[in-house]
């Protein structure tokens, strides 16, 4: 494992920094078309976490997501709605047209909960476009895939599901078993290589008992890369956004937005953890928002904080 981490970290140092600015031509094209019903793009079928160890330093400062124009006014607006224990919340936000944004604890290494499923989504689509996996391919649910918590596939061990169905269940209802079946298909090594290639310096998926790691800044890095078409082709990007736009049972960004606002996101939760991150397609252009909370005695505090942060961020960018 340590050799693997060293190799991937070394490879990451040669990757180009991800830019969190998206061209107007791109935003006016396929990315937005995928959210307006274009049938050609719809899918076809506690405390600060530990620093990294071994081959990569989770605290190294690459921060490719950083906004070009940090806004103290936005930071103050966000701070005004945070709970008392602000050290238990990590926030990163950037407007994808003009680069305005803010950050709070955004480089802290924190548990991703189900946000790691975005990484599985990205690498699965990379392998689809590399002809190593296809949406119609059938996966047998193995006993080692079965995971408690969200989902329905834990009761279908021995049955087959398509890659398309597994992706839909993984994002739509956050099916844990679907996630592990897909991870077994694409391999954890390829997943970690994908995160490094995107510039996510603080994100790591472990195959042992160690907790997975990410940061709010890393999540924004990935969302920016997705919107810039740096992960897969425009068609694949549209399909990924389509999955992320579907209604999810747990959604704390959504209540902070005006009705009808387009949102492509993924939420995640574990005991003491509430996370939500995504792309909001507002009237002044899209922005990426990640709010990750941890060490919560009352999960409702984290849920309300995510919604409150969303509300002030949206008002800042749109006036609504």
CATH superfamily of 13-111+188-318: DD-peptidase/beta-lactamase superfamily (3.40.710.10)
pLDDT for the residue numbered 154: 86
Specify whether the CB–CB gap between 246 and 278 falls below 8 A. no
Helices 216-227, 234-245: axis angle to 10 degrees equals 130
Which regions of 105-251 does DSSP assign to beta strands (E)? Answer: 138-140, 160-162
Residue 15: burial class (beta carbons within 10 Å; 0-12, 13-18, 19+): middle
Alpha-carbon distance 106 to 93, whole Å?
A: 9
Instruction: Give the up-direction half-sphere exposure of residue 182: CA atoms within 13 A in the CB hemisphere.
Output: 33
pLDDT for the residue numbered 194: 94
Q: Where are the domains of the chain?
A: 13-111+188-318
First-to-last alpha carbon distance for the chain, in angstroms, is 49
Q: Return the sign of the alpha-carbon dihedral for residues 314, 300, 275, 263.
A: negative
CB count in 10 Å sphere of residue 158: 8
Alpha-carbon distance 20 to 225, whole Å?
A: 7
pLDDT for the residue numbered 8: 41
Kindly provide the b/e burial profile for residues 219-247, where b requires at least 16 CB atoms within 10 angstroms of the residue's own CB. Answer: bbbbbbbbbbbbbbeeebbbbbbbbbbee
pLDDT for the residue numbered 37: 40
Alpha-carbon distance 2 to 281, whole Å?
A: 40
Specify whether the CB–CB gap between 186 and 202 falls below 8 A. no
- Provide the residue-wise pLDDT of the chain in tens; the chain has 320 residues: 444 444 444 334 333 333 454 443 344 343 444 343 432 222 222 222 222 222 333 333 344 577 889 999 999 999 999 988 778 999 999 999 999 999 999 999 999 999 999 999 999 999 999 999 999 999 999 999 998 777 789 889 999 999 999 999 999 999 999 999 999 999 999 999 999 999 999 999 988 888 999 999 999 999 999 999 999 999 999 999 999 999 998 999 999 999 999 999 999 999 999 999 999 999 999 999 999 999 999 999 999 999 999 999 999 999 98
């Amino acid at each position: 494992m340590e050799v693997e981490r060293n190799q991937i970290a070394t490879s990451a140092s040669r990757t180009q920094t991800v830019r969190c600015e998206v061209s107007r031509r791109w935003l006016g094209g396929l990315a937005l078309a995928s959210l307006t019903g274009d049938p050609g793009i719809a899918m076809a079928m506690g405390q600060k976490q530990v620093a990294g160890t071994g081959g990569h330093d989770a605290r190294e400062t690459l921060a490719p997501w950083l906004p070009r124009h940090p806004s103290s006014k936005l930071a103050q607006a966000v701070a005004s709605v945070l709970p008392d224990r602000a050290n238990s919340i990590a926030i990163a936000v950037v407007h994808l047209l003009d680069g305005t944004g803010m950050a709070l604890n955004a480089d802290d290494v924190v548990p991703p909960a189900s946000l790691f499923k975005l990484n599985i989504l990205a690498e699965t689509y990379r392998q689809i476009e590399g002809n190593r996996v296809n949406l119609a391919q059938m996966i047998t649910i193995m006993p080692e895939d079965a995971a408690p918590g969200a989902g329905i596939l834990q009761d279908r061990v021995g049955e087959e599901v398509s890659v398309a169905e597994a992706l839909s269940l993984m994002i739509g209802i956050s099916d844990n078993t679907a996630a592990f079946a897909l991870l077994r298909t694409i391999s954890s090594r390829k997943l970690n290589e994908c995160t490094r290639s995107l510039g996510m310096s603080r994100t790591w998926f472990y195959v042992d008992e160690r907790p997975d790691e990410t940061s709010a800044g890393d999540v924004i890095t990935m969302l920016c890369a997705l919107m810039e078409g740096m992960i897969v082709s425009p068609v694949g990007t549209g399909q990924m956004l389509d999955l992320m736009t579907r209604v999810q049972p747990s959604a704390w960004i959504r209540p902070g937005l005006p009705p009808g606002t387009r949102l492509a996101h993924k939420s995640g939760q574990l005991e003491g953890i509430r996370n939500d991150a995504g792309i909001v397609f507002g009237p002044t252009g899209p922005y990426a928002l990640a709010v990750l909370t941890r060490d919560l005695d009352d999960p409702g505090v984290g849920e309300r904080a995510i919604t409150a942060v969303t509300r002030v961020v949206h008002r800042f960018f749109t006036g609504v």
